Amino acid sequence: KAGVTQTPRYLIKTRGQQVTLSCSPISGHRSVSWYQQTPGQGLQFLFEYFSETQRNKGNFPGRFSGRQFSNSRSEMNVSTLELGDSALYLCASSQWTGGDTEAFFGQGTRLTVV
């Protein structure tokens, strides 16, 4: 079956702009999580959605937001981009949420802010 699909794969934006990233989970998976990965901070949790409800949010400013649709697809939005937002953004899906669950990650979206 198809894996987790993230679009676009690469993106270049200018400071101050906003960006929307998309994630299509594996069919049947209801939980979608987002992570930011940078060389300095590693993999950091952004937020998690389950059945369209955000159940957990990481320590990121309000410029980072997300949503999940009824078909489990998810989007995350970053407004007023800063240079420090340059990172690999990863989406993960799983059938349910929990540390005992296998998470399937997408290839990520490489965002570069100039």
C-alpha to C-alpha distance for 78 and 37, rounded to whole angstroms: 15
HSE (CB half, 13 Å, CA atoms) of 61? 8
Beta strands 109-113 and 87-94, pairing class: antiparallel
We find the least distance from the C-beta atom of residue 4 to other proteins, in angstroms, to be 8
We find the least distance from the C-beta atom of residue 59 to other proteins, in angstroms, to be 11
Task: State the residues that interact with other proteins by CB under 8 A.
Answer: 4, 33, 35, 42-45, 48, 50, 55-56, 58, 88, 90-92, 97-100, 102-108, 110
- CB-nearer residue toward other proteins: 79 or 107: 107
- Sign (positive or negative) of CA dihedral 95, 100, 106, 108: positive
We find the least distance from the C-beta atom of residue 16 to other proteins, in angstroms, to be 26
